[in-house]
Structures are given as structure tokens and as C-alpha cells.
Structure 1
Amino acid sequence: MNLSICYIFFFTLLSISLSLFVIGLKFLINDFTLFIEWELLSLNSNSIVMTFLFDWMSLLFMSFVLLISGMVVLYSEEYMHGDIYIIRFISLVLMFVLSMMFLIISPNLISILLGWDGLGLVSYCLVIYYQNVKSYNAGMITALSNRIGDVALLMAIAWMLNYGSWNYIFYLECAKNNLEMEIIGWMVILAGMTKSAQIPFSSWLPAAMAAPTPVSALVHSSTLVTAGVYLLIRFNILLMDTKLGQFMLLVGGLTMFMSGLGANFEFDLKKIIALSTLSQLGLMMSILAMGLPMLAFFHLLTHALFKALLFMCAGSIIHNMKNSQDIRSMGNLMMCMPLTTSCLNIANLALCGTPFLAGFYSKDLILEMVTLSYINFFSFFLYFVSTGLTVCYSFRLVYYSLTGDFNVSSLHPMSDESWVMLKGMLGLLFLAIMGGSMLGWLIIPSPFMICLPILMKLLALLVSMLGAWMGYELAKFALSWKLMSMDKFIYINFMGGMWFMPQLSTIGLNFYFLSLGYKLIKNLDQGWSEYLGGQSIYNFMKKNSMTNQLIQNNDLKIYFFSMVMWLLFMMIMFMF
């Protein structure tokens, strides 16, 4: 029964994805945009209207999200085999995809909040899917970190009251140098930074690896973490040649460098791939800040293809390793699982930007545009060093897991017999090879003319080759042993620990603010303000009503007593 349900969802999502792709191409060729207003309710002169924006960008992105989610649902059938709540799991995945759809087609900040909060809520449910302490902690840091951005989005909605409508898409061009729109821009950037895990909100993304691997494949390729980038692509006019853009360039570059550095010290297979996602998100953010939204969107789509494949291959290996994620326990997997490791290698090479794979067409173009543009040396350094670090941790991963000796001799032989998972992986393999070329011709039909000196042209390739050699040396421990002889605190805890951000986020910010909130509730809301406010008024009214009730009793003694008191009062008044 479960098999049939998974296949039904797979074919449904695939058919909708292909339809949206064809419509998106038609919109792209004709430069056509469809803006739909659906009136939900009209009361007197007030009307509640739901707005949708269909252009080539939203349609292509929805097509890719649905394609990857279809592959993930098919893949989940075998990966989640034995889970008695498989229907609940697939329902959560579909709710996740639906929230992303709302976010993609919303030109309105109110309806964006619908998809935005939907993503946050369902992601929490998926991260805590395996019900243990580690998952609960990961779910809490994910939810709390994203709430900061949600509050920023609510503040942006409040600032949009200064305009006539919440349809931000109409106000961007005319309000570029407006102070109010700049404040809204800062709020939107904060929201995008938390959702796309930029510094200093990066610690939740590796923690979210507590979710099942099919969810990780969906989250890290085309849904949750790309929502912030997509929102900023829509707001890109505010970023061009402003302080907002300069700030995002710095933040994106530092995120790219920090995650690339951290991945070289990590031994958890899923966390290495999660940190590579963080590195690519930093690349998208920084190139967007330089005023190239089309390139950022192009890389967003190509990255979705090979990153989903990378996670699926990792999930297949973890599944065969009986849920062990430590790359030191692996080794010589290419002899045991040749098809899976071939897919993993192709996805890894696409991530590195190897010529003529999907990642090359967007990544190489980005680096050449960076070289061509006016940019400071620090940002230039971060771009190229981060590219080298990406190749470095990719080759380190290959060395540890796919070559050498098999390090768990007690484990039974592994194999490529999981055909349902392989169907999901092979579906994306073709796109990881051909997708970049295909999208390049579609999105950028007239080629860029980038004229650079030969050394600058080959710089990206040289940096990648240097990174590959460094990754091999690090994995071999020849260089690693020398580095280990340095101060261990600086080497492991700082560089490999994401610059202390997990500690700052969990122990520092979250714990401090949660304990502060608890004290405020106890001392103010339920303490002095309650005693002097609500409870005080209640007691005062209660005493007065009891006195009034006593006076109103039909008692002769009370009546005479009150009369005497009233006469005495009148006599005293006349005397004075």
C-alpha cells in the first residue's frame, strides 16, 4: 500500500513539475508575467485579496522544487521502510513543499508570511521526527533561530503600512532611495539571513541534520534554506549600490569561508554536506549583493540539482552502514557500492565546479564576473579561497569514504541492491550532468563576453587544483599531523567549530534570552504588574461590591445605622 502511495505522489509531482517547466519556458521566451488577485472576502468597502505572481522565475523554481520533492518521496519509500508512520512523514514533506509554493508565488508580504511560517513550523516537525534528545535540541535551535527572522518580517509588514499596499513588488523601483524602504530592506535582509543561515545565525543548519536524510535532501537543495536567498532576489533592487549590498557582500563572503573551513575538520558525512550547502548559500548571497540577481538564481537552480543527489547518495551509504555517519568508519565503498559512489563522485565534482558538469556553468561564471568587477581585495580573497576549500573538503571526503581499506570488518558486505533509492538518485544524475548547460542556454540565451588575462581566466582552475591537493594531504594526515601539533584549542575548537557560533547560539543567545523571558514573566507579567494591575483592580472591585452588597441587604439595624451616620455627616457639614 505504501509503495503505491509513494509512486502516486511521485508521478503526480513529476507531471506538475514538467507542466510548470514548459509554462515557465513560454513565459521566459515571451517575457510574460501574470499577476492574479483573488478576492476572498468583501465586507462594506474592505476586501481581503490573495495575490499571486507567476513569472518565469517563480514557475521554473516551483518546477525544480516539485521535481526534487517527487524524487525524495520515491527515495523515502525504501529509506523509511519499516517506519509505521510513513504516511505522516510523506504528509509533512508535502506540507513543506506546499509552504514553499506559497512563498515562491507571493508578491505580497502578508502572503509570504503564510509560506514563511509554514516552512518554519513544518521544518521543526521534521527535525524532531526521530524522537530523541538530540533531535529535540536541534529542532529547538532551528525554530528559535528562525523566529528572529520571522519577527523581522513582521516588522517589515508594519513599516509597509506607510505605503498603500503590502504588494512590495510595486514599490521597489520607485522607493529605492527612500529611508522607509531602506528600513524595510534591513528587516528583509535580517529575515533572509536567518532562513539562509548566514553568519551569525549559521549554527542551526548543521544541527538540522537530525532530520531524516530524505528531508535533508529536500531542505538543503531547494526549499527551506533557499527561501531567504529567493526573497532577497525579489528585493534585489534595494541591494544594488547601497549599504545593504555592502553588508550582504561581507556576510556572504565570511559565511562561505567559515563553512568551507569548518567542513575540513568534520567527520560526520551529513554535516560535511550541510556545511557545503552553507558555503554555496554564502556564494549566492554575496553575488546577489554585487548586483547580479540572475546569476544568483542560476546558481540556486543548478545547486539544487547536485545537492539533492549528494544527500541521496549519502543517505544510501548511511542506510547500508547501518546508520553510521562517521567517514572514518567507511572506506573502499567504490568496491561495495559502485553505482552509488559513482553518483556521489559526479555530484561532488559538480559541487567543485568541474568543467561541463552542472555546477561549472554557474560557479565559473560567478567567479569570472567577480574577477571582472570592481571589488575589494578582501572579498576577492574570500571568493577564491572558499572555492579552494570546497574542492579541499570534497576530495578529503572521497579519500576517506570511497578509497583505501574498508574500516568496519565486522559489518556485513554492502551492496547497490536498494533499487527504489537508486531510481530516485539516477533521476537526478542526468540533471546533475546536463542541467547546468541546459539552464545556461535558457536563462542566459546571449553569451557573456568576459575578456580576462590568461592567468585570471585560469585562476579558478588553479585554486581548485591546489584545494584538491590540500584535501588529499589533509586526509593522508601528512599535513594534518603537523597542524595537530599546534594549539589544539585554536585548531579544532575555533576553526572546526564554526567560530564558536553553536556555543554562542545555544548557551549564549538562546539560553540567555529564554532565561530572561522566564524572569520577566515571573517578576513582571505574573509578579508586580499583576499584583498592582490586574489583581489589584480585581481586589478593589471585589471589596467595593461586597460593601455595596452589605448595604443593600434588607436589615433594619444596617438601615438605622446608615441613617444615623448620614445625619451625623450632614450636621458636621452644617456646623462648618
Structure 2
Amino acid sequence: MKNFSKFEFMSMILGFNCVTCLALFFIFFEINLICLYEIDLLMKNSVSFNFIIYMDWMTFLFMFIVFFISFLILMYSKIYMGKECYRFMWLTFLFIFFMIVMILTPSCLGVLVGWDGLGIISYCLVIYYKSSDAFNSGFITAATNRLGDSMLLLSIVWLSMEGGFLVFEISMGTLFLILSCMTKSAQFPFSAWLPAAMAAPTPISSLVHSSTLVTAGVYLMIRFYYCYVGTFMLFLLFMSSLLTVLIAGMSTLSEFDFKRLVAMSTLGQLGFMMVILSIGYPYVAFFHLLIHALFKAMLFMCAGSIIHSGLGVQDLRMMGNLNFDIITKSCLCISVFNLMGVPFTSGFYSKDSLLEIFYSSYSGLGLGAIFMCMAMITVAYSLRMLIFLSSYWSWVLFVETSYKLTLSILMLSLMVFFSGSVLNWVTHQLDLIMLNFSIKITPLLMIMLGVCWHGMTQKNQMIFFMLSSMFFLNTVTKNLSGMIQVFMKMLKLLDQGFLESGIFNLKKKSTQISLTLTKMSQKSFLSSMGSFMLIILMV
């Protein structure tokens, strides 16, 4: 028992919860069972404040994915962090707890508790290493998440004004809910915080940027899809997610940081989920969310193992000649092939479904062609990453890693192997889509074109800066903090500085001038009235 660490104990608890959620999922899915528990908290001014727990097959399936990835991440973290760091462990555990709270409850109060908890814990994890870059990234992350929290509060206030606090309903308050979900899932123009959050430790990046924080907004929008279907909000969501996919795909082609490149690919896949949701297929978006959570967590874990063996080097230009164990390299290739959507992988099931729906939806051939090009860009930057890792201009000597890192990656790879076909059977909402051979073969042609292109772009300094700053989105977001700081200084100068007396004197003088003008106008009015009466008497 002395060798039984707290990390392993917490991993065992998460593993037990994972098995329990899987068993409950099969029970709820088989008999199509839905359970709803309502807890009355208080009633104030005829508004009932309740806490609701809602359970169905979708709830337990998502909880199973979260618990399974968390179970492996804690095993992985014990080796990666180098020593028993209990602060990191408890922060990770609290992060998982708030995510489960947000999954289980659709009530306004439960969503707010889980939402705020995720934002606070993610900020603590981003600034974990206590460097200047970590604090800057943490500020951007916290500011964006607080903006989303304020939008969520506005939606709750709007619902309370309409007499309901139970769940989100069809109203204009849903617009604020969509904006808050866009901030949490890093949709345009709130995309800058996701690459900046890579200052966090790699194990928590595997959890945060695959299955928890960034997917929380997508999951909420899938749950409350009935609130905004058929409204103008779908068009707002569609345009934002389309720009997100475009910016993420083009910016990844100029990225050299290993973790930021994986985070930018996550941003693009989140845009895919939001687009398919705005077209009208929430279950297909949920299917892609689950598949993406599994293979992206494995990609982050492989990247973390490589960075850990290279003693912290993350620059792809220094990481060639990957002299590494064959299991980690194979799992890295499997996760990259899933991201590319290569046939007979789990990512192929969801991505092929997405591209077919784009072609057969009301948007027609134009949207299908755009997303075919985005799929080609995904293949291009994935292959570009593999080319850098397999090149011969390495500056890094890789050391051998522990077998426990490899074991957790291998367990996740087994799940990635079988998840595509199983989840396709479970969450299948598609009708029969009949496409001709030329359209059906187009995704394979895009994969071949992406392999031929392999992400090599023209080295123009201006274009490189534009792409590396996410079409200047990073620059604008960072300058916003400076603008807010200048505004606060001006406010302090006006409210507490020497200008306050000047403004008071100016106000006093303006009041005196207005009184004088009023008296003059009254005298002129009386004199005009007197002359008018004299004229009348003379007549």
C-alpha cells in the first residue's frame, strides 16, 4: 500500500465510474429510458429556482468518454509531471467534477455552476508553471471565459424576467446562450484563447482540448438545439463556425510549435462540429465530438510523450529524426490518420458523414466544395507535421520514456480502433444518402491532393505573419487588454484625479451660463409680449 499513490487511487475511482457509466449507457439505450430529477431550492417573486438532473443515453455516453480519457490522463500525469504534484492532481479532479456537473444538469443554475467552475480551474491550470507567458495566456483565457460567463448570466436574467428559471427555453435570451457557447468553444471572433492555453501542462491539454472545456459549448448547443432551431441564430452560428474553420486551417500551415499545431487542428474540428450543427444535424455533431475527443486526446498524449523525451523542446524545426519507441510512433500515426479521415479509421466514419451531409444539404454544392478544400488542408498540415518529425535535421536527442506513458497511450489507441464503427451504430441519425460516384470519391481525391501538397507554402513574410497571428486575431485580442488598460487609466484620471475639480468647475460655469440665458430669454419674452399687447390696444 505504500507504493499505491494518490494518482493511482484517483485513477481507480475514475476507472470505476467509467465502467458504471458504460453499463448505464447500455441499459438506458436498450430500453430508451430517460430520468429527470428536480430539486426545489427556493421561490422568489413567483420565479422558481430549481436544480435538475437529467439522464439519458447521451448523458452516460459522454460521461463514459470523459471518465475514460481522464482515467488514462491521470495515469499518464504521474510519470509526465516527474513527481507527486498533488496540486495538479486536485485541480484536474475538480475540472472533471465541474464537467460532470455541467453534463448532468440542463437547469440554469447547474449549467452556471459547471461553467464557472470550468473557467476558474482552467485559468489555474494555464498559469500552473508561473512564467510570464503562462500569465499572459491565462489572462486571455480568463478574460474570454468571463465574457462567456457574462453572456450566460444575461441569458439566465432574461429567462427569469420571463418567469422561468427551470431550463433554457425558446426566447431572445437564447442568443446570449449561443454567444457564451461560442466563447467556450473558441469560435470566431473568440478563437485566440485556445492556442494561448497551450501554456498549460501537456496532460491537462490532452483533457481540456479534447473532451472537456472546448467541447462544453458544443455539447450545450446540442442539448438546447430546440431553443434556436429555425431562427436567425443558426445563420449567425453558421457564419462564425465557417470563418473559424477557414482561419484555423490556414493558420496551421504556418505553425511550428507542436502543441499549438495540435490545438489549431482542434479549433478546426470544433468549427466542423458547429457547422454541421447549424445545418440541422445535432446527433451527427455529437458523433463527431466523441470520435474527435478520443483520437485528439491520443494525439496530445503522443505529442506530450515526444516533448517529454526531447526534454521540453516543442519546435518542429528541431524535432526531426524521431528515434523513439515503435508503439508511440504507431499511435501517433494512427491519431494523425484519424484526423486526416483516412479510410478504415474511426475519423473516417464521422468526417465522411460530414462531407456527404454538406453536399446533400440545402446549402448545395458550394458549401460542399468549401469543406472539401478544408478537408484537404487538414490532410496537408497533418502530413507537414509528420514530415518535420521524420526529417534528418534534428537538434534534439530523445531519451527513453517510461513504459507507463506508453501503456496509457496504447490503451487509448485500442479504444480509438473500435470507437468509429460502434459509435456510428449507436448515434446513427442519417437517412440513406445516395450520391453519384464522382462526388462519393471526392474525399479520397482530397486526401491524395493533400498528400501531394503536404502543406508547403510560399515564404512571404507578410503572409506568414498574417497566418501565424490567425489573420491578426491574436494581435487584436492582445491589444484589447491594452485598450482596456488605457480606458481604466482615463476613468481613474477623470474620477479621482485633478481633472475632477476642473470638470466640476466647468459644470458649475455651464450651469451659471444656462441660468443667465434662461433669464435673458424670459426678459425678451416679457418685452415681446408687452409690445404685442401695446399693438393690440393701439388697434
TM-score (norm 1): 0.83
Q: 1:505 aligns with which of 474, 477, 486?
A: 477
TM-aligned CA deviation for residue 282 of structure 1: 0.2
The structure-2 alpha-carbon separation of the partners of 1:150 and 1:517, relative to structure 1 and needing over 3 Å to count, comes to farther
Would the aligned equivalents of 1:206 and 1:271 in 2 still touch at CA under 8 Å?
Answer: yes
Matches within 5 A, 1:142-541: 142-168=141-167, 171=169, 175=170, 181=171, 183-333=172-322, 335-375=323-363, 379-401=367-389, 403-405=390-392, 407-408=394-395, 411-415=396-400, 417-444=401-428, 448-471=431-454, 474=456, 480=457, 483-484=458-459, 486=460, 488-489=461-462, 491-507=463-479, 509-521=480-492, 523-524=494-495
Would the aligned equivalents of 2:48 and 2:165 in 1 still touch at CA under 8 Å?
Answer: no
Provide the C-alpha distance between the structure 2 equivalents of 1:226 and 1:264, rounded to a whole number of angstroms.
24
Q: Which amino acid aligns with 2:201?
A: P
Who is 1:547 aligned against? none
TM-aligned CA deviation for residue 413 of structure 1: 4.8
The structure-2 alpha-carbon separation of the partners of 1:528 and 1:320, relative to structure 1 and needing over 3 Å to count, comes to same
Q: Secondary structure in 2 aligned to 1:207?
A: helix
Would the aligned equivalents of 2:22 and 2:64 in 1 still touch at CA under 8 Å?
Answer: yes
Who is 2:522 aligned against? none
Deviations 1:133-176 (A, max 9, x none): 0000000000001111111111101110233322225x3xxx4x
Would the aligned equivalents of 2:36 and 2:53 in 1 still touch at CA under 8 Å?
Answer: yes
Q: Which amino acid aligns with 1:363?
A: K
TM-aligned CA deviation for residue 358 of structure 1: 1.5
Provide the C-alpha distance between the structure 2 equivalents of 1:375 and 1:49, rounded to a whole number of angstroms.
41
The structure-2 alpha-carbon separation of the partners of 1:17 and 1:331, relative to structure 1 and needing over 3 Å to count, comes to same
Displaced runs of 4 or more, over 4 A? 40-48, 525-533
Structure 1, unmatched stretches of 5+, are 176-180, 475-479, 534-576
Would the aligned equivalents of 1:269 and 1:314 in 2 still touch at CA under 8 Å?
Answer: yes
Provide the C-alpha distance between the structure 2 equivalents of 1:282 and 1:511, rounded to a whole number of angstroms.
29
Structure 2, unmatched stretches of 5+, are 505-539
The structure-2 alpha-carbon separation of the partners of 1:505 and 1:53, relative to structure 1 and needing over 3 Å to count, comes to same
TM-aligned CA deviation for residue 46 of structure 1: 8.8
Would the aligned equivalents of 1:20 and 1:59 in 2 still touch at CA under 8 Å?
Answer: yes
Who is 2:54 aligned against? 53
Q: Please, which moves more after superposition, 344-353 or 57-66?
A: 57-66
Provide the C-alpha distance between the structure 2 equivalents of 1:273 and 1:230, rounded to a whole number of angstroms.
21
Provide the C-alpha distance between the structure 1 equivalents of 2:269 and 2:126, rounded to a whole number of angstroms.
22
Q: Secondary structure in 2 aligned to 1:90?
A: helix
The structure-2 alpha-carbon separation of the partners of 1:43 and 1:236, relative to structure 1 and needing over 3 Å to count, comes to closer
The structure-2 alpha-carbon separation of the partners of 1:526 and 1:226, relative to structure 1 and needing over 3 Å to count, comes to farther
Who is 1:16 aligned against? 17
Q: Which amino acid aligns with 1:80?
A: M
Would the aligned equivalents of 1:266 and 1:496 in 2 still touch at CA under 8 Å?
Answer: yes
Provide the C-alpha distance between the structure 1 equivalents of 2:189 and 2:411, rounded to a whole number of angstroms.
36
Who is 2:82 aligned against? 81
Provide the C-alpha distance between the structure 1 equivalents of 2:36 and 2:490, rounded to a whole number of angstroms.
48
Would the aligned equivalents of 2:284 and 2:427 in 1 still touch at CA under 8 Å?
Answer: no
TM-aligned CA deviation for residue 423 of structure 1: 1.7
Would the aligned equivalents of 2:310 and 2:397 in 1 still touch at CA under 8 Å?
Answer: no
Who is 1:565 aligned against? none
TM-aligned CA deviation for residue 321 of structure 1: 0.5
Who is 2:528 aligned against? none
Q: Secondary structure in 2 aligned to 1:37?
A: strand
Deviations 1:318-337 (A, max 9, x none): 0010000011111221x433
TM-aligned CA deviation for residue 424 of structure 1: 1.4
Provide the C-alpha distance between the structure 2 equivalents of 1:427 and 1:530, rounded to a whole number of angstroms.
70
Q: Please, which moves more after superposition, 312-321 or 184-193?
A: 184-193
TM-aligned CA deviation for residue 496 of structure 1: 2.8
Q: Secondary structure in 1 aligned to 2:471?
A: helix
Who is 1:554 aligned against? none
Who is 1:539 aligned against? none
Q: Please, which moves more after superposition, 1-10 or 365-374?
A: 1-10
Would the aligned equivalents of 2:51 and 2:109 in 1 still touch at CA under 8 Å?
Answer: no
Q: Please, which moves more after superposition, 418-427 or 209-218?
A: 418-427
1:90 aligns with 2:79: no
TM-aligned CA deviation for residue 47 of structure 1: 7.1
Provide the C-alpha distance between the structure 1 equivalents of 2:181 and 2:45, rounded to a whole number of angstroms.
37
TM-score (norm 2): 0.88
Aligned length: 503
Provide the C-alpha distance between the structure 2 equivalents of 1:13 and 1:348, rounded to a whole number of angstroms.
27
Q: Secondary structure in 2 aligned to 1:336?
A: coil
TM-aligned CA deviation for residue 73 of structure 1: 0.5
Deviations 1:223-261 (A, max 9, x none): 111111111111212343321111211111111121111
The structure-2 alpha-carbon separation of the partners of 1:159 and 1:419, relative to structure 1 and needing over 3 Å to count, comes to same
CA RMSD of aligned residues (A): 2.4
Would the aligned equivalents of 1:2 and 1:77 in 2 still touch at CA under 8 Å?
Answer: no
TM-aligned CA deviation for residue 89 of structure 1: 0.3
The structure-2 alpha-carbon separation of the partners of 1:207 and 1:456, relative to structure 1 and needing over 3 Å to count, comes to same
Provide the C-alpha distance between the structure 1 equivalents of 2:365 and 2:235, rounded to a whole number of angstroms.
14
Who is 2:98 aligned against? 99
The structure-2 alpha-carbon separation of the partners of 1:287 and 1:190, relative to structure 1 and needing over 3 Å to count, comes to same
TM-aligned CA deviation for residue 447 of structure 1: 6.5
Deviations 1:85-105 (A, max 9, x none): x11100000000111111111
Provide the C-alpha distance between the structure 1 equivalents of 2:430 and 2:177, rounded to a whole number of angstroms.
32
**Percent identity (aligned):** 38
